[in-house]
């Protein structure tokens, strides 16, 4: 496939890397140094601060009764959370490109969803009839320059830093030479690209869809607000420690993720010859899994009735715990602090 070859530095990221020593070690490093329970808990105050900034911004606009682009607000919040977690500091839209995080991520996702003729008959890839390869290379250049700048900043400030972030850890691994495989700047950039794109889009998209469904179902919104008033009260904001007691919120989020999965279709490649439901699949065969159809099946309840939109098995998303925490926290704050309505120029199809 053309997309992972161009954007992921030759499939060096977690999403597209082939299963093996490299992929297993990278997944373990990401879990230990960025996505472990201890690390997620240690960054709780940072998440609280950024969500409070979002709420304060919305309060100022609510006083003036102005229309709010909530999609842009939530995307900006997730970009800030990701940058602080992974890079150790916030970056503005203009630091990446004049188009900003949201538009660039949407461009990548648009190209990822588009069928590319060059992925099938090999000779069509060189012709680039749809212009997809050219667009991917343009986007790759923008992100590569941004990630290079981040790595350079960490190299120059390495001796003065007391608290190491994820980039510092990756740089230490590269410079130590202890890795059992080739590990250079391209590998670091591929992993950072994964973290940035996955966090900025998926969490924001899930939050938007859940709020959309709440607007479509006012009785659900009222029930959720009642739970928030009973558990949290009206004299303070929702804390992450409150989330485990918000059972109805948990159900709302899970149902939102089922109805609007962030990855409705998954691509897989067989590692060896195998037989699935009577069909023989040769090694290297590409398969497309219609996850949306699975989620809509009334007979399917998921593994142990838990979340499945993040995949399952060893290729499941390692960010699941963090992503669900952020979505639940943001949805809870937005529903608890505001009464939402659509602009008069927009109608909602029920």
Q: How many Å apart are CA 214 and CA 83, to the nearest integer?
A: 29
CA distance 67 to 61: 8
274 is in an annotated binding site: no
Q: Long-range contacts for 287-291 (Cβ within 8 Å, ≥24 apart)?
A: 289/265, 290/264, 290/265, 291/261, 291/263, 291/264, 291/265, 291/266
Work out whether strand 279-281 and strand 265-269 pair parallel, antiparallel, or are unpaired: unpaired
149-179 burial, b for 16+ CB within 10 Å, e for fewer? ebbeebeeeeeeeeeebbbbbbbebbeeeeb
DSSP string, 138-201: HHHHHHHHHHHHHHHHHHHTTTT-SS--HHHHHHHHHHHT--SS---HHHHHHHHHHHHHHHHH
Rg (CA), the chain: 21
Residue recorded with tokens 């609510």: 62
Contacts 24+ apart (CB under 8 A), 18-24: 18/269, 18/271, 19/271, 19/314, 19/315, 21/180, 21/181, 22/181
- Both tokens of 85, joined, read 């977690």
**DSSP string computed for 66-98:** ----HHHHHHHHHHHHHIIIIISS---HHHH-T
Burial 69-98 (b: 16+ CB within 10 A, else e): ebeebbbbbbbbbbbbbbbbeebebeebbe
Characterise 182 by phi-psi region: left (phi > 0), alpha (psi -120 to 50), beta (else): beta
User: Annotated binding residues for heme, as ranges?
Assistant: 317
Annotated binding site: 317
């Amino acid at each position: 496939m053309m997309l992972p070859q161009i954007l992921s530095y030759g499939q060096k990221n977690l999403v597209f890397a082939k299963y093996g020593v490299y992929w297993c070690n990278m997944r373990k490093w990401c879990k230990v140094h960025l996505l472990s329970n201890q690390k997620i808990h240690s960054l709780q105050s940072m998440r609280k601060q950024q969500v409070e900034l979002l709420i304060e911004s919305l309060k100022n606009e609510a006083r003036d009764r102005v229309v709010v682009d909530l999609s842009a607000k939530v995307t900006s919040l997730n970009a800030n959370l990701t940058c602080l977690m992974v890079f150790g500091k916030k970056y503005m839209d203009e630091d990446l490109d004049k188009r900003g995080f949201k538009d660039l991520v949407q461009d990548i996702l648009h190209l990822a969803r588009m069928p590319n003729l060059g992925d099938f008959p090999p000779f069509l890839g060189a012709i680039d009839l749809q212009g997809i390869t050219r667009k991917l290379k343009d986007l790759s250049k923008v992100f590569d320059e941004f990630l290079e700048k981040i790595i350079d900043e960490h190299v120059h400030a390495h001796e003065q830093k007391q608290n190491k972030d994820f980039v510092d850890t990756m740089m230490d691994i590269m410079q130590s030479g202890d890795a059992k495989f080739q590990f250079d700047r391209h590998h670091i950039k591929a992993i950072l690209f994964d973290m940035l794109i996955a966090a900025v889009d998926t969490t924001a998209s899930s939050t938007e869809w859940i709020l959309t469904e709440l607007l479509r179902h006012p009785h659900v919104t009222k029930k959720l607000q009642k739970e928030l008033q009973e558990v949290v009260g009206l004299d303070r904001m929702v804390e992450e420690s409150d989330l485990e007691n918000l059972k109805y919120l948990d159900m709302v989020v899970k149902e939102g993720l089922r109805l609007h999965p962030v990855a409705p279709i998954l691509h897989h490649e067989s590692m060896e010859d195998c037989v699935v439901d009577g069909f023989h699949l040769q090694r290297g065969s590409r398969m497309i899994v219609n996850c949306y159809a699975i989620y809509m099946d009334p007979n399917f309840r998921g593994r142990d009735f838990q979340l499945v939109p993040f995949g399952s098995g060893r290729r499941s998303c390692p960010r699941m715990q963090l992503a669900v925490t952020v979505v639940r926290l943001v949805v809870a704050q937005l529903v608890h602090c505001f009464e939402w309505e659509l602009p008069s120029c927009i109608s909602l199809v029920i």
